Structure 1
Amino acid sequence: MTTLAISDNGRVLVPAALREELGFKPGTRIYAEVKDGSLVLTSASQRTAQRRAYFADLMKRLNVPEDASLVDEFIAERRAEAARD
């Protein structure tokens, strides 16, 4: 386990070994959140992967076919509504 210190201005330096292990490169946007009393840092690509996995699981639980395009269905519904007006 690595110990980090908070500087006087509130900055935390993440050591190179941890940055390398996590794939954090200079300029990487990092998201910070508190989960169960712990600070969790996540890169944008990790966050995107988590969201995609969450929605893929949700679509499976809702029995939505994998090849279905909800965007196309939404647009078709809106066009049908506009045609009725």
Structure 2
Amino acid sequence: MRKTQTLREIRLGKRGQIVIPAAVRQQLGLSPGDRLIVRVEDGRLILEKRQEVIERVKARFAHIPSEVCLSDELIAERRIEAQRS
């Protein structure tokens, strides 16, 4: 994946709103109504397309067989830990 860097200065509006410049929206393929996920990381504000975040999370857990329920496994582990206490 090739990283590109685009620098633009924007201003924070009175109500805390920002406008993503048209060139940046075009570069990222953003359209009106797109849902974005916002997070703060190391003092930086990061915006990502919601669907891309979902795909990244799915890829992270793709190695887990579909018949495995992670929440059930976590609960079982917690019960075992509680019995040891």
The interval holding the TM-score normalised by the smaller chain is 0.5 to 0.7
Q: Give structure 2 stretches of 5+ with no counterpart.
A: 1-6, 70-85
Matched to 1:3, the amino acid is E
Instruction: Report 1:1-16 matches (<5 A).
Output: 1-16=7-22
Determine what percentage of the aligned residue pairs are the same residue.
30
Give, in whole Å, the separation in 2 of the partners of 1:47 and 1:22: 14
Query: Which protein has the larger Cα radius of gyration, Structure 1 or Structure 2?
Result: 1
- Return the structure number with greater helix share: 1
SS at match of 1:6: coil
Once the two structures are TM-superposed, the CA of residue 5 in structure 1 deviates from its matched residue by 0.6
RMSD between aligned alpha carbons? 1.6
Once the two structures are TM-superposed, the CA of residue 49 in structure 1 deviates from its matched residue by 1.6
Moved runs in structure 1, 4+ residues, more than 3 A? none
The one of 31, 38, 45 equivalent to 2:37 is 31
Give, in whole Å, the separation in 2 of the partners of 1:12 and 1:54: 31
Instruction: Report 1:6-85 matches (<5 A).
Output: 6-56=12-62, 59=63, 64=64, 68-70=65-67
Once the two structures are TM-superposed, the CA of residue 69 in structure 1 deviates from its matched residue by 2.7
Q: Give structure 1 stretches of 5+ with no counterpart.
A: 75-85
TM-score between the two structures when normalised by the length of structure 1? 0.65
